[in-house]
Amino acid sequence: MTNLDPTLREALNRIYPAPERESDWEDVLARTGRKLGPEVRARRSIAFRRARILALAAVAIGATSLTVLLWPAGTPLTERALAALGDARVLHVITHRPAPSERLVEIASGRIVIPTQEAEIWFDEKGQRARIVTRVDGGVREELLQTRQGWFTRGGLVYTCAWIASHPAEATKAGVSCNENMQNSTSPRSEPELPPTVDASLTAFARGYQNALESGEAQPLGEGSIDGQRVEWLEFRGADGSSQRVALDRGTLRPLRVETSRPNQQGSVARYDIALIETVPSSKADFSLPPRRTPQQSIGKIADEQSIDLARAADVLGQAPLWLGPQTNGLHLSRIEAQRLVTGYGPGADLPSSSTHGIELVYGNISGGPHIRLREATRCELAYAWPCSMPAPREGYLRIDNLPGSGGALVRDGLYVRIVSSLGEKSIINAARALRPAP
C-alpha cells in the first residue's frame, strides 16, 4: 500500500485546511422532503417515515405550542413518543431519585434534606457498552464504564469473570477467581463479558423503552398527572419481566417519570424522575474511561493517643479546634486526646501507609455513661469513619450516616468533624449547631 507522504500531507493541509463547520443532521432530514418526487413518495420506507417524523419532531420540540398542529392527525402516541426520543445509536438518560441511604440536615434550621441521587447513563446496546455516573447532591460518587473489554470504575479495573478468564495469571496474582476453589486456569480463554447493566430497573427501562415504541408493544394507558402536570401514561414489559410505566409530558412526549415493578415484588415500585432523555450519535456520547481517583484508603486506625489540653489541641490541628464549650447537655468536657491516625492504601495502590494527627474531645463518660464525642482532623480520615471517596457535605449541612454508631459528619472551618452521641440524633444536630472555635 502506498504510504502517506508527510510532505504531501503537509502541503495538502495548507491548501485544504480542515473545515470548522458543524454537522447538522436535522438539515439532512429536512432535505429528504425536498428530494421526493410523487413516485418515490408512494414508496416511502418505514425508515424514511421515521426520518420525516424526526424532522417534524425537531421542529415540534423547538416550538411546543405548535406540536399538535405539526403532527398529522391520527399519528399514534407511540410513534410520536419514538420521534421525540430520536433514533440515534446511544441512549442518554439522566434520572433523579432520593438518595436511598443518606440524609442531610440543614444545621441552622434542623430541616432534613434527602439529597438527590442522579444517575447519568450512556447506553449503547449495539456496541455493548454503557457508562454510568452516579452523583449525590452534585458530587460524583461513582463512575462505571462497561465495555466488551472489561468494566472500569474510578478505582480501576473491575474483576469480572470474563476478564479473569482472559487474564488468569493476573487474576491469580490479584487473588481473584470465579471458581469456588479460587483456582484460575493457566491459559487464557475467551468468555463473553456481561452485557452492560445499570440499576436493574433502569436497565430494563433503558433497554426496553425504545424497542417497545418501535415494535408497538408499548400500550397507552391514558392521561394522568404528575405534580399537577398533565401526562400520558404508557406501559411496556421489560425483558426481565418487570412492568414499566412511563409518564410522558403531553407537550414534548418525552418521559418524565418511570415506575417499575416486578411481579414477585408486590407493592414495591421503583420511581425515577427523568431529567433528560435523548438519543445521540456515538460521536456525541461519553464513553470515556473514568478518571482514576486518588488511591482508596483501605485501613484507618488510631495508632496511639495521649491526653492533651485545649492549647495543645490547636497545635496538633494547626488551628483552633471546634468545641461545645466546657459542658453541653449537662455533660462536662472530660477528656481531650491527640490521636495518631494511620491510613493504609491496600496492596494494589503501591503506596506506603501515611500518618497524621487528629484530636478527640469527649463530653461525659464513654465507659457506659451518656456521652458526646467530637473527632476532628484536617482531612478525611478513615480512622474517623470518613472515607475520602465520600464527598464532604456542603458547609452548613450535617450528614447523618445510616450506619449504627457513626453519628453525623460535617465540615467547618476546614475541619472534618464527626459527632457521635449516645443521646440520639437530636443531640447530634444540636451539637453541630453549637460547635464553635475553642478559645
Partner 1 sequence: MGVGTVAALEALYGDRYSEFLRVASAIAGDEGRGADAVQDAFARALISLRAFRGDAPLEAWVWRIVVNAARSVRSKEQRASAEMPVPASSDNYNPDESEVRRRIASLPDRQRTAIFLRYFADLDYRTIAVVLGVEVGTVSATLSAAHDALRRNLEEVQR
* Interacting residues with partner 1 (CB under 8 A): 1-2, 4-5, 7-9, 11-12, 14-19, 21, 23-25, 27-29, 31-32, 34-36, 40, 43, 45-48, 50-51, 87-89, 126, 214, 280-284
For residues 353-380, one letter each, b for 16 or more C-beta atoms within 10 angstroms of the residue's C-beta and e for the rest, the string is: eeeebbbbbbbbebeeeebbbbbbbeeb
- State the nearest-atom distance from the C-beta of 49 to partner 1, in Å: 10
Task: State in angstroms the smallest separation of the CB of 90 from partner 1.
Answer: 8
Closer residue to partner 1 in complex, CB, 5/304: 5
Q: How far is the CB of 286 from partner 1 (least distance, A)?
A: 14
Residue 152 beta carbon to partner 1: minimum distance, rounded to whole angstroms = 22
Tell the smallest beta-carbon distance from residue 55 to partner 1 (Å).
10
- Can you tell me the distance from the alpha carbon of 203 to that of 216, in angstroms, rounded to the nearest whole number? 20
Q: Quick one: 29 or 258, whose CB is closer to partner 1?
A: 29
Kindly state the smallest distance separating residue 210's Cβ from partner 1, in Å: 10
Closest of 238, 152, 155 to residue 193, by C-alpha: 152
Which residues, in sequence order, are CB contacts of 128 under 8 Å at separation 6+? 147, 148, 193, 195, 196
Closest approach of Cβ 30 to partner 1, in Å?
8
- The dihedral built from the CA positions of residue 311, 317, 319 and 322, taken in this order, carries a sign that is negative
Main-chain phi, psi angles of 257, to 5 degrees: -150, 145
What's the grid cell of residue 34? 425536498
Q: Which is nearer to partner 1, 28 or 269 (CB)?
A: 28
> Is 83 or 361 the residue whose CB approaches partner 1 more closely?
83
Q: Between residues 45 and 266, which has the closer beta carbon with respect to partner 1?
A: 45
Helix 200-215 vs helix 77-85: angle between axes, to the nearest 10 degrees? Answer: 120
* CB 280, min distance to partner 1, A: 8
- Write down the least CB distance from residue 26 to partner 1, Å: 10
CA proximity to 379, closest of 329, 417, 346:
417
Separation of alpha carbons 142 and 140, rounded Å: 6
Q: Residue 296 and residue 351: Cα distance in Å, rounded? A: 10
Residue among 102 and 124 whose Cβ is closer to partner 1: 124
In the bound state with partner 1, the residue whose beta carbon lies nearer, of 11 and 63, is 11
Interatomic CA distance for residues 198 and 395, integer angstroms: 32
Residue 439: partners with Cβ closer than 8 Å, 6 or more residues away = 310, 320
Residue 48 or 345 with smaller CB distance to partner 1? 48
- 250 burial level (CB within 10 Å; 0-12, 13-18, 19+): middle
Separation in Å, CA 46 to CA 41, 79, 314 = 12, 12, 74
Which residues sit opposite 105 in a β-bridge? 112, 398
- Grid-cell match 430541616, residue found: 111
Least CB distance from residue 5 to partner 1, whole Å?
6
Residues, the chain, total?
439
Closer by beta carbon to partner 1, 286 or else 304: 286
Q: Which three cell numbers stand for residue 372?
A: 458526646
Residue 34 or 189 having the CB closest to partner 1:
34
**How many whole angstroms separate alpha carbon 202 and alpha carbon 94?**
11
